[in-house]
Structure formats: structure tokens, C-alpha cells
Structure 1
Amino acid sequence: MIKLDIIAGARPNFIKIAPIIAAIQKNAVQKIQYRLIHTGQHYDKKMSGSFFEELRIPEPDINLGAGGGTQAEQTAAIMIGYERLLLDRPSDICLVVGDVTSTMACAIVAKKMHMRVVHVEGGIRSFDLTMPEEINRMVTDSISDYFYTTSEVANQNLKSYGIPDDRIQFVGNTMIDTLLENISKFVKPDIYQKKNLTPQNYLVLTLHRPANVDQETHLKILLEEIISNSENLPIIFPVHPRTAKSLKAVNLANQNIYTCEPLSYLEFNYLVKNAKAVITDSGGITEETTIMNIPCLTLRNTTERPETVSFGTNELIGTNPGNIGPALKKLFSGTWKRGSVPPLWDGKSAERIVDHLYSLYK
């Protein structure tokens, strides 16, 4: 029997682990005994709890209760909690996903406890060391035993570090597994009705990167550029907790931008699927817009998901507010590119992961 720890701590993690758990449960022949460990990194229900309900993820077997605090405080709390658990109840494999604090913290603890570490979404790089996530990716990949990758670019990144081919498994994207499984179940959010939205006649905006939201003046300029170039279409802006702090100082009164609290997975993706376009600084959203063929304007200078640009509907327009106008002009002129689906983004990535995990211990 393989004892597997599945680590989740933040909103993107839950989307990525849901199909892996489903794949384990689907095939009883595969002798994998897993425990789901919620680190508590995201402890707000809107950022965490609703995902368990909507995506039919079992309740966590353990919640480490790391809670809030600085990145260092969260990292320390997660590491202490996970080490105590492993000392009391050891496991064989630690499966981490993505690039959040929980990913790095649990990988370090597991490796020091002589466990195998497998990294779902390994090998992706933005090459921007100002991003905390990039540090998490680099540290996690440097100590992982096996890598489940989303693209050929990620494969090549790992090979450039000397990782041999037999430790790299190109499986596709589990986030897309979840999207394809749930696309027929999207839920119309209240704001859609309240603002009388209609398909293709509004924009969706999300912002949470420090470079975009931590300085109130810069955030204000960004929003003004988006508003003034939106051709008066409604702009729906679910506000991340980090962004909310800076947004208080920005006067958005009497504008065509409408803020709301973070939406559930099914509600948010309903908005995206029916939008004219999405403006974001998120990485995961660029993957979802690629599959749903929705134009995506990314307010970043680099991306760790270049396949969303080379194959998909995403374009990097940078953090300079002056780039927003020309990009939106291109959108409204009807000349935005059509996207295609990257290889192996077919809804079967989790099955490939579980097959490989089982092959390690037959």
C-alpha cells in the first residue's frame, strides 16, 4: 500500500488536487492510501471552503491551521505543523501542487524526513525573482524526485537543470481537468443579474500581484486606463483580499466598474465564459481563458505559462498602464487572435499522474 500525502493550502491548489483525488477514488485496483492535508494557508471560506463543496473534494483529513501572517510566519507554521504530523504518522510520498507557500514548505519538510516528493506543475518558470511564487517553484523543483509537467517548455526548463528524462512526466494540466469536468455546471453569480449583464458585453478584471496593487497610485492609474478604454462596457472586478487594502484609497464612484467579493469557482468561471475579455495578472486564469477561447490581457511582463500565449488567447501587455489602451483597441477592433488547446490539456492529466504514482511502487 502506498501512503500518499496530498498537500493543499490555497485557492489554486484545490482546483488542481480535485481531479487527482477523483482519479485515485475511481480505480480501486490501484492501492493508494491518501490523506488530504489542508495547511490552512487560505483560511477564509471564500478563498478555500467553497472549493471543497463545489468541486466535491472530501473534507481534509488534517488541517494544519497555519492561518495568516507574513510569508515567513506562514512558512514556519506550515513546516512545524507538517513535521509534527510526519513524526507521529509517517507517509511515503508527498504530493505538492503549484507554487504557493504550502508547496515549498511541505516539500522541504518531506524531503528532510526522507520521503519522496512529487511536484505537480513542476518546471514552470517566469524568471522573475520578484515574484514569491518563483522562489517557491525553484526551491520545490530543486528537491523533488518526480515532476508532473504541463508543457514542453516546462520539460525543457527541468532538463536545463540536469533533471533526467525518467523523472519528468509530461501529463498535461490538472487545472484543465477540473475546468472540463465542471464547465456544464457553472453557476450564474448574483452580480450578473444585478448589473443586467449579457454575454460578450462586459469585461472581467482581477488583480492581486504586488507590482500592480501594493502602490495605491499605480493601482489608480491602471484602473483609470482600463475604465477610459473599455468603451463603457461594465467591468466586473472580484476583489482579492490583498487588493482590497489598496483599493480603499481609490475612488471608483460613478464609473462603469463594479467590485464584488471573491466568487466561488463555479460563479467566477461563469463570468469568464460569457465575458468579452478578461484583464488579469493571474497565471491560472490565463489557462482557463485559453480553454474557453476568451481573449485575455495579462498585466505582467513575464509569464510562467508561455503556452497560454503561444497556443492560447493570452497576451502579455506588461505593467505599464500606457499599454492598456492599445490592447483594448485591438480587442474592440475584432482582431484579437484565436487560440488553440495546448498538447495534453485534454482532461486526463490526473489519470496519468495516478498511473505513474502506482507504477513507482508495484
Structure 2
Amino acid sequence: MSNQAIMEAPVAGLGPVICIVGARPNFMKMAPILRAMAAHIPPMPVLLVHTGQHYDKDMNDRLFEDLRLPRPDANLEVGSGTHAIQTAEVMRRFEPVVDAHKPSCVAVVGDVNSTLACALVAVKKGVPVVHIEAGLRSYDRAMPEEINRILTDQISARLYTTERTAEDNLVREGIPPERVCFAGNVMIDSVVFGRANARSATETLRACDINPLVLSHPMGYGVVTLHRPSNVDKPETLRALLGVLAEVAASLPLVFALHPRTRSNIDRFGLEDLVDPARMVLLPPQGYLEMLGLMAGAAMVLTDSGGLQEETTALGVPCLTLRENTERPITVEQGTNLLVGRNRAAILGAVQEILAGRGKRGRLPEFWDGHAAERIAADLYQWLMSSQSGIALKSLAT
């Protein structure tokens, strides 16, 4: 059912749920939520807003197609900028959308600038904010995402968590537990949904005009992604990481899906010589199904991405996280993730453990079962209807 069709059949006077996507991780999280809202009985009225924080048209088109996302009802086309400029511009362009559509709530996911910006607009206009993937904490306030998480949670009326410890974080920060609902991980819903259609690593390499024989190594291959400013924005840090990756590639070929920021900095800092094309394959940014296939077939993943920590746990693939902390501790405690930071000895030691067959396999955490979005839709509908009833009774009383 299209967004417009749902909009034409509002539920008992319920205004639309404005759902926000902005950057790549949001697409994977929002797609199953939109499907669950459409499948809910009765269907829930939805308006999909794309802020344009992730603005690569080709990549956007691929993500919408891979995840079977409906086309957005509004695209704010914000583009890039500093954190302040991007956040302010999203707020400026989103406010008229809220005014025009009178939503029952604004649903945001994750921790990107669009998440906080749209939440601020909504709450200042008296519209309830629903935060999906609430309560995650790295306890590293040097990360812009950590600030976005904390502030969004503080102004949200309904908070959906992916792991039980997230509620503990929220309660410590003064958020009443009755505002929190443990629903599970919608990112895993997308993994379950996309797994059957994931593209093989061989298909992906052929499409990128790279000889798939690079994957013929008896130990397989590893997947690498790097994009955090703390890892890629300083030449000495990026140089050290590329040097360690070159050492890893001597034992295991690496497929490096390059974020545009990382690609630009490798060129800008003159670090191309650290990348041996015979051992480290550089790919342009990949679609969701391509990355899913690459990860599913990998011997290990080396990354600084929060989402990939979750996806590798769902896929049962060992993950080495090139950060000192994680906001997803359950992937370490129960999943396949190991924090190795930027420590050369720790990285190389962990790689050898995995190649020796001693890598973490872990288990699937509670409610990482492909049905988180259905639980969210069911709870959100009841919560909104209860809120509407409360408003109606209050108006009768006055």
C-alpha cells in the first residue's frame, strides 16, 4: 500500500506518523517499520520524509530499491555541511512539513543529525517524538552521535529499545520506565528481509570490474569499512590504520568498501601507496544487498560502524571493531563483536585467532528475530490511540 493510500484512510482521526530518514543507517531501520505500519490492522497513516542528509542520488535510489522503501512524500534536500549548519537547515525545512500535516507523532531512528533536528522541531511544536533505537550509549561525548542520542531520548515521549540494558541507561538519565518499550532491533529485521536477495561477493566484484579471483584465497576474505572522523580525518591515524590493514591483508585478502570521506582523505593525505591492489580491493560505496552479501560470505569484518556490529552478530560473522568503545555492548557480550581499537597488536592478534578458527560466533540477542518492527507498530498504535483518548477526555472535561 502506498503512503498516499494510507493517508487517504486515516484511523479514527489519527494524524499521520511522520517517519524520518536522513542518512544511510536510517533507511535500513525505517524500511521494516513502514512495512509493519502498512500491514497493521488497521493500517497506520504514514508520511515519509527524507531530509537529504545522505544526498548521493544513485545510492539513495539503490537503497530504496533494495529495502523496498516507498518513495518519500517529502525530500528536504539538505545536503552536507557542518553539524550546526546541517542541523539548523533540517529544522528550517522540516518545520513547514509539520505545520502542513498535523502529525500524531514524529518517529525518528538512530543518532544522526536529522534525528535530533526533526525531534527538536516536533517537540517545540507540541508534537510527540518517538525514538526508535533509544538508550544506546558509548559514554564518549566526543562522538557527535552520542550527543544526538542523549538529547533525542530526553525529548522523546515514547522510546523503543534494542536491548534491555538500554532501558537502564534511560532510567539513570531520569526517563520514566513507562515511556520505554523493549521491542528488539529493527536493523535485524532488514537483515532477515534482505538475506534471501543478498548479492554474492563474486557478483559484486564483477559488477565493479574487479577480478573475483581475489576471493580464491583458502582463508577467504575480510570486509573493511572506515568512516568515523576519529579514524579517518587525521593523516597519522589513517596512515597507522592502513598500515595495520596492509599487514592483515598479507594473511587475508581484504575487500574495502570505501566511504567517500575515507576515499577523499586517502587521496588528500597521499596514502595511496599503503593500499596494495593485489591484496586490498577498494570498492565504491555499495548498496545494501551488496554489503549484506559481502559480509555474509566474509571470514571477518573490520569496521568502525555501529550498524555493522549488529549485522555481523545477526549473520554469525566475527567482527573486529576499530574503536575504543561501542554503544552496542550486547554485540560484544552476546554477539560476534570484539573491540580492538587502533591497537596494532590487538588487531593482528584477533585476526590470527579468527583465522585459526577461534573467532567469536556468539548468539542472537533477545528479540533480534526479524519481528521488532511489528512489535513497534502494535505498541505505537495502542499508545497513540490511548493518547488520543486522553486528549478527547481532557477536552470534554474542560
TM-score, with structure 1 as normaliser: 0.96
Q: Which amino acid aligns with 2:180?
A: I
Report the Cα distance in structure 1 between the residues aligned to 2:21 and 2:146, rounded to whole angstroms. 18
Choose which of 101, 124, 140 in structure 1 pairs with 2:136.
Answer: 124
Q: Tell me the alpha carbon deviations over residues 269-304 of structure 1, each in whole angstroms, 9 at most, x when there is no partner.
A: 101000110000001001010011101000000000
Other-structure match for 1:262? 285
Per residue, is there more helix in 1 or in 2?
2
Report the Cα distance in structure 2 between the residues aligned to 1:200 and 1:124, rounded to whole angstroms. 35
Query: Does the 8 A contact of 1:311 with 1:340 survive in 2?
Result: yes
Report the Cα distance in structure 2 between the residues aligned to 1:48 and 1:212, rounded to whole angstroms. 25
Report the Cα distance in structure 2 between the residues aligned to 1:340 and 1:58, rounded to whole angstroms. 33
Question: Residue 128 of structure 1: CA displacement?
Answer: 0.5
1:93-104 mapped onto 2 (5 Å cutoff): 93-104=105-116
Other-structure match for 1:239? 258
Q: Percent of aligned positions with the same letter in both sequences?
A: 44
Q: Secondary structure at the match of 1:185?
A: coil
Deviates more, 1:224-233 or 1:149-158: 224-233
Please tell me whether residue 49 in structure 1 is matched to residue 49 in structure 2. no
Q: Which amino acid aligns with 1:294?
A: V
1:213-232 mapped onto 2 (5 Å cutoff): 213-232=232-251
Q: 1:276 to 1:46 in 2, by over 3 A?
A: farther
Q: Which amino acid aligns with 2:114?
A: S
Report the Cα distance in structure 2 between the residues aligned to 1:341 and 1:275, rounded to whole angstroms. 18
Query: Does the 8 A contact of 1:46 with 1:263 survive in 2?
Result: no
Deviates more, 1:317-326 or 1:115-124: 317-326
Q: Which amino acid aligns with 2:316?
A: N
Other-structure match for 2:28? 15
Please tell me whether residue 194 in structure 1 is matched to residue 211 in structure 2. yes
Report the Cα distance in structure 1 between the residues aligned to 2:191 and 2:368, rounded to whole angstroms. 10
Q: Which amino acid aligns with 2:230?
A: A
Other-structure match for 1:331? 354
Question: Residue 327 of structure 1: CA displacement?
Answer: 1.6
Q: Tell me the alpha carbon deviations over residues 226-245 of structure 1, each in whole angstroms, 9 at most, x when there is no partner.
A: 22134442210011011112
Query: Does the 8 A contact of 1:118 with 1:145 survive in 2?
Result: yes
1:297-308 mapped onto 2 (5 Å cutoff): 297-308=320-331
Q: Which amino acid aligns with 1:12?
A: P
Report the Cα distance in structure 2 between the residues aligned to 1:261 and 1:254, rounded to whole angstroms. 14
Other-structure match for 1:288? 311
Report the Cα distance in structure 2 between the residues aligned to 1:235 and 1:356, rounded to whole angstroms. 43
Q: Which amino acid aligns with 1:11?
A: R
Q: Which amino acid aligns with 1:295?
A: P
1:1-362 mapped onto 2 (5 Å cutoff): 1=11, 2=14, 3-27=16-40, 29-188=41-200, 189-191=203-205, 194-196=211-213, 197-198=215-216, 201-248=220-267, 249-250=270-271, 251=273, 252-253=275-276, 255-362=278-385
Question: Residue 330 of structure 1: CA displacement?
Answer: 1.6
Question: Residue 319 of structure 1: CA displacement?
Answer: 2.3
Q: 1:275 to 1:160 in 2, by over 3 A?
A: same
Q: 1:80 to 1:232 in 2, by over 3 A?
A: same
Question: Residue 34 of structure 1: CA displacement?
Answer: 0.7
Q: Secondary structure at the match of 2:102?
A: coil
Question: Residue 31 of structure 1: CA displacement?
Answer: 4.7
Q: 1:46 to 1:335 in 2, by over 3 A?
A: farther
Count residues with an aligned counterpart: 361
Q: Tell me the alpha carbon deviations over residues 26-78 of structure 1, each in whole angstroms, 9 at most, x when there is no partner.
A: 13x32521100000000103542211111110000000111111111111110
Query: Does the 8 A contact of 1:225 with 1:322 survive in 2?
Result: no
Question: Residue 217 of structure 1: CA displacement?
Answer: 2.3
Q: Secondary structure at the match of 1:53?
A: helix
Report the Cα distance in structure 2 between the residues aligned to 1:200 and 1:45, rounded to whole angstroms. 36
Q: Secondary structure at the match of 2:149?
A: helix
Q: Tell me the alpha carbon deviations over residues 119-159 of structure 1, each in whole angstroms, 9 at most, x when there is no partner.
A: 00000000111111001001101100110000011111011
Report the Cα distance in structure 1 between the residues aligned to 2:251 and 2:219, rounded to whole angstroms. 13
Report the Cα distance in structure 1 between the residues aligned to 2:76 and 2:383, rounded to whole angstroms. 28
Q: Secondary structure at the match of 2:238?
A: helix
Q: Secondary structure at the match of 2:19?
A: strand
Report the Cα distance in structure 1 between the residues aligned to 2:337 and 2:32, rounded to whole angstroms. 25
Unaligned runs of 5+ in 2: 1-10, 386-398
Over alpha carbons, which structure has the higher Rg?
A: 2
TM-score, with structure 2 as normaliser: 0.88
Q: Please give the root-mean-square deviation of Cα atoms over the aligned residues, in Å.
A: 1.5
